[in-house]
Structure 1
Amino acid sequence: MRAHPRFDRGHTDDLITFLAESPSPYHAVASTAARLEKAGFRQVEETAAWSGGTGGKYVLRGGAIVAWYVPEGAGPETPYRIVGAHTDSPNLRVKPIPDTGSHGWRQIAVEIYGGTLLNTWLDRDLGLSGRLTLRGGAHRLVAIDRPLLRVPQLAVHLDRSVNSEGLKLDKQRHMTPVWGLGDPAEGDLIRFVAQEAGVPAEEVAGWDLMVHSVEPPAYLGRDRELLAGPRMDNLLSVHAGTAALAAVATSGQELPHIPVLAAFDHEENGSQSDTGADGPLLGTVLERSVFARGGSYEDRARAFAGTVCLSSDTGHAVHPNYAERHEPGHHPMPGRGPILKVNVNQRYATDGSGRAVFTAACERAGVPWQSFVSHNSMPCGTTIGPITAARHGITTVDIGVAILSMHSARELCGAEDPYLLANALTAFLED
């Protein structure tokens, strides 16, 4: 075991910064790229010819990033070690015609993205973030990180049964945020966002905007042993993977594989997009890297056959108020290390061989780990893991960090778990 893990509490401090500066997938990849640039990585354009030189490189496409480090001595048949994650989180996204309202209230029309816990967006101060597409195709990131919107809940006096029968929300009627008084005016929101972004409104040809909670991430608990914050599913893994890749790229040691970070968009709604795990992005990048180093299709097949991917996503910590919803023999806890996620119906891609890879990495890093499997009567969700394994034919293992309040506007994890995960990922990429 490594006597002195590379990452400590300072990693979690930086995760807080990363979460705050990444209110949308587009901001998340920009923040990731900035961290990799500091480690010597350089962006390559997909439309340019690629060289086969050594060093760190990355590709940006929308809300996705694929980064890799080619060490000295790497041949075209050298296999990859991949950390996979996703940049998107369930939230409320602005509709194409956003300006709406009634009864003297100005509102913003939103569409529900992913399987969000709707009630967690009620009575919460919300900002607006994403990107504007300008005429000519350029993009401009925008983040209005102050109280701008709010989805007000109906007062208990007007719904006396809410505490006894539960809150019932209609996605269309009850989730429309307010942002002012008066009658809605067509184009008002985009004019306002363009002004905030410092561009003329007439230059805006399209937009991808979403709401986010403006409450900052924070340590929680008597001993600050917990971390509460937004978008930990799955920016926690993106951040850990970025730190691990930067660490191995700057370590100066010989690497027998090519370490990779692949952070995709659209996992929360099925991954089927040009920036999702079910799209061609990862396979194209890996193949082009093989060919740029003078490789053939035979070399590509050999490289993929020796490749392993750790699909890192959050999982469920045992909930103290709902313990009966969890598998009795598997109760992951915060602060006890990353989890190995297993589902024999292939909702997760882990098998016995994958378990051996993950546990060996944890042992080398001196990191404890836990097992997760769902209650038989509670079918689990899925990840990019099975998609990655099936699409590219590479060994894939599903892992992550145990959290509470998954898909809430604000989630909860152990404050030590982010750096325990980063140390395990570093050991995996090193070997």
Structure 2
Amino acid sequence: MPQLERDAHIEDLSAFIRESPSSYHAAAAVADRLVVAGFERLDERDEWPTGPGRRVVVRDGAVIAWVQPEAATATSPYRIIGAHTDSPSFKLKPGASTSSEGVLQAGVEVYGGPLLNSWLDRELELAGRLVTADGSEHLVRSGPLLRIPQLAIHLDREANKGLTLDRQRHVQPIWGTGLLGDVLGHLAGIAGLHVQDIAGHDVLVADTAAPARFGLDDVFFAAGRQDNLTSVHAGLVALLAAGDDAASDHVSVLAAFDHEELGSESRSGASGPFLVDVLARIAGGLGADEHDRRRAFAASWLLSSDAGHAVHPNYPERHDPVNRPHLGDGPLLKLNANQKYATDAHGSALWARACEQAGVRFQPFVSNNAIPCGSTIGPLSATRLGIRTVDVGTPLLSMHSARELSHVDDLAALAAAATAFLTPA
């Protein structure tokens, strides 16, 4: 990819990350960008149009968008890019306002599997949604408000030999001084609401530091929530690039789910019914019966895109001794014998074709046998749908840190390969 095009991509990714401090903000940002580009936003409670078009629907912190070409029929296959909108963090508890030793604190619960130490001594914000008694939803973000201060080295002389953080006692952020303070009331004021009107909230903690490029020739990219907003953004770029080719033989889909960091078992997660529901309504609009739908699925592909591990130069022994993906050498093809990733031989061939068409390199990723890998939405979606799936992503360092590290070439290459996946030659 030419440098100017790559730099523009990174600038747009940076803006998208800044717009998306929570899964709810990320889903809204995707929908807003698509509406500006001419997509029609739908409500799940309404009847949906059945003809060709570009459409998007949001369910909580998840979003699905698609391009249905004029040539689509009851048996047209789907090309789906799957990703997730959530990241490891902390979630605001009910009754979250506490105080200790004259300092106001916000009670939080650990969300997913964050690197706890990476959240210390950072300016943090609260971001998510507030729901009022009438059921209306309001997105809110506080800007810099919180900090989790680390205990000084003078009071813990052994800290550098091994820091242990108690998940209940040591990660409660501070946000003010005094004996009285209502963190939920503070958020209500930001949203233009009265705190007594708030009946529920889903509010998480996010790092406020802006994304940044650094290193020799600015090749490194540091930002929070790269796992997995980099894939959401790549899918968004690919869907916009897919255009409205009336003669296309497939329906292009972007499915960005919530709650992957918790196992995906929710109404808006990959194990839930969201994608199945949307595909069923698309198929119904095309006049497909169950037989037609299974034929379409048999010819379909799902590209599950999620961040993976680059070889860490300070811990090289933690990686497979042969397959050693490096920052800057291209996006990953993720493989696992135990089906933690859904890639098979056909998926490997598909990814090779997409990368060749895009003119980018890719790297195989497998885990060290002694250090089992995590999983992705790929196997979950493949199990629910029966659609052949391939797992890919960008290599990261500091995965699940408050601020993760990637290479700008890999980020641009992922978007290019995802675009080729939706527009195969």
Aligned residue for 1:301?
A: 294
- AA of the residue aligned to 2:102: G
Matching residue of 1:357:
350
Residue 145 (structure 1) aligns with? 143
Structure-2 residue corresponding to 1:8: 6
Q: Which amino acid aligns with 1:150?
A: R
Query: What TM-score, normalized by structure 2, do the two folds share?
Result: 0.97
Gaps of at least 5 residues in structure 2 are: none
Residue 191 (structure 1) aligned with residue 191 (structure 2): no
List per-residue Cα deviations over 1:263-322 (Å, max 9, x = no partner).
000000100000000001101100110011211111111111111101000000000000
| Farther-moved stretch of structure 1 (128-137 vs 307-316) | 128-137
CA contact (8 A) 2:238 2:415 kept: yes
How far apart in 1 are the matches of 2:336 and 2:5?
Answer: 30
Q: CA deviation at 1:51?
A: 2.2
2:384 corresponds to: 391
Q: CA deviation at 1:7?
A: 5.3
Paired residues of 1:12 and 1:416 also in contact (CA < 8 A): no
Q: Residue 219 of structure 1 corresponds to which residue in structure 2?
A: 213
Q: 1:328 is matched by which residue type in structure 2?
A: P
3-state SS in 2 of match to 1:215:
coil
Shift of 1:184: 4.2
Mapped to 2, the partners of 1:6 and 1:278 lie a distance apart of 39
Superposed, 1:28-177 pairs within 5 Å as: 28-146=26-144, 148-164=145-161, 166-177=162-173
Quick check: 1:91–1:116 contact (8 Å CA) kept in 2? yes
Is contact 1:5–1:423 with CA below 8 Å preserved after alignment?
A: no
2:313 aligned residue (316, 320, 325): 320
2:302 aligned counterpart, secondary structure: strand
- 1:181 pairs with one of 164, 177, 181: 177
State whether residues 107 and 184 of structure 1, in contact with CA within 8 Å, keep that contact through their aligned partners in structure 2: no
Which residue of 233, 239, 253 corresponds with 1:239? 233
In structure 2, the residue corresponding to 1:223 is in which secondary structure? helix
Identify which range, 82-91 or 4-13, moves more after superposition.
4-13
Give the TM-score, by structure 1 length. Answer: 0.96
One-letter code aligned to 1:383: T
2: CA distance, partners of 1:351 / 1:69: 27
Count of matched residue positions in the alignment of Structure 1 and Structure 2: 424
> 1:323 Cα deviation (Å)?
0.4
For residues 111-156 of structure 1, what are the alpha-carbon distances to aligned partners after superposition, in whole Å with 9 as ceiling and x for unaligned?
000010000110111111111001211111011122x111110111
Matched-pair contact (CA < 8 Å) for 1:93–1:210:
yes
SS at match of 2:216: coil
Aligned counterparts, 1:222-371, within 5 A: 222-250=216-244, 252=245, 254-371=247-364
Structure 1 portions without partners, runs of 5+: none
What is the identity percentage for the equivalent residue pairs of Structure 1 and Structure 2?
A: 51
Contact 1:6 1:423 in 2 (8 A): no
Q: RMSD of the alignment, in Å? A: 1.4
- Whether 1:430 aligns to 2:423 is yes
Identify the match of residue 372 of structure 2 among 379, 383, 386: 379
8 Å contact 2:129–2:202 — kept in the other structure? yes
Q: Is the 8 A contact 1:327 1:375 kept in 2?
A: yes
Contact map agreement 1:120 1:408 (CA 8 A) in 2: yes
Change over 3 Å in CA distance of 1:7–1:86 after alignment to 2: farther
- TM-superposition CA deviations, 1:61-97 (whole Å, max 9, x none): 0000011100111001101000000000000110011
1-structure distance, mates of 2:4, 2:417 = 10
Q: Does the Cα contact within 8 Å between 1:42 and 1:57 map onto a contact in 2?
A: yes
Paired residue for 1:27, among 13, 25, 28?
Answer: 25
> Structure 2: which amino acid aligns with 1:317?
A
Q: Is the 8 A contact 1:128 1:143 kept in 2?
A: yes
User: Cα 1:59–1:426, aligned 2, differ >3 Å: closer, same or farther?
Assistant: same
C-alpha offsets along residues 240-284 of structure 1, whole Å, 9 cap, x if unaligned?
10010011025x473221110000000001000000000011011
Q: Which residue of 2 aligns with 1:207?
A: 201
Report if the CA contact (8 A) 1:307-1:395 is conserved: yes
